[in-house]
């Protein structure tokens, strides 16, 4: 159980690590953003590495909880209905956890390698269950979906001014392959 002060520090650290990266983030900046003094931060987490690990573990658990909700047992009318639901829910999950995703991608050498692998394996099995097809490499298919969602979330350069239209087109194009 995380107390209020620890939660403030974790929230501030998430933002600073996402913005500046592990090397660029300072405990002083994190403490200032959390509105605590440095000694409180160190009393709670001892080191910057411990703080980073705590941020990653805490937010990993949040992602897993959100992921479990996405993978709930639903009945889908069609493959298109399944993809619309999946992609919409993954977009929401990604938007709600964009800072964590950014850290995960930018600091991949500092996080456990099994995070992304576990996530992709679960999602691949779920997609295979709902869109069975003998010729699909589900991991590659899932990476395609996740990459598309990541680009939409980050929206580098305004490439997708109408996200809803981009999602609809992506789904329509994907369904054509089945």
Q: What is the pLDDT of residue 104?
A: 84
Separation CA 21–CA 103 (nearest Å)? 7
Q: Which of 47, 43, 3, 11 is nearest to 30 (CA)?
A: 11
Considering Cα of 19, then 24, then 27, then 28, what sign does the dihedral take?
negative
Q: What is the pLDDT of residue 112?
A: 67
pLDDT over 90 percentage in the chain: 38
pLDDT tier, 52 (very low <50, low <70, confident <90, very high otherwise): very high
Which tokens belong to 144?
A: 């395609």
Q: What is the pLDDT of residue 23?
A: 94
Cβ atoms 79, 178 nearer than 8 A: yes
| DSSP class per residue in 70-131 | HTS----SSHHHHHHHHHHHHHHHHHHTHHHHHHHHHTGGGS-THHHHHHHHHHHHHHHHHS
Separation CA 5–CA 3 (nearest Å)? 6
Map out the domains of the chain with their CATH numbers: 4-175 (1.10.357.10)
Q: What is the pLDDT of residue 157?
A: 62
Q: What is the pLDDT of residues 12-46, one digit of tens each?
A: 999 999 999 999 999 999 999 999 999 999 999 99
Q: What is the mean pLDDT of the chain?
A: 87
């Amino acid at each position: 159980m995380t107390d209020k002060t620890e939660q403030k520090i974790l929230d501030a650290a998430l933002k600073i690590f996402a913005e500046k990266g592990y090397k660029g983030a300072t405990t002083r900046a994190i403490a200032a953003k959390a509105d605590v003094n440095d000694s409180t931060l160190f009393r709670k987490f001892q080191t910057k590495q411990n703080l980073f690990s705590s941020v990653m573990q805490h937010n990993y658990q949040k992602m897993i909880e959100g992921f479990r909700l996405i993978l709930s047992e639903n009945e889908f009318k069609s493959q298109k209905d399944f993809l619309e639901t999946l992609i919409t829910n993954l977009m929401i999950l990604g938007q709600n956890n964009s800072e964590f995703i950014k850290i995960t991608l930018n600091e991949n050498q500092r996080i456990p390698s099994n995070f992304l692998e576990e996530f992709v394996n679960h999602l691949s099995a779920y997609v295979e269950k709902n869109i069975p097809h003998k010729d699909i490499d589900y991991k590659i298919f899932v990476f395609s979906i996740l990459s598309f969602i990541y680009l939409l979330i980050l929206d580098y350069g305004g490439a997708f001014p109408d996200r809803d239209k981009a999602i609809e087109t992506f789904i329509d194009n994907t369904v054509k392959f089945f």
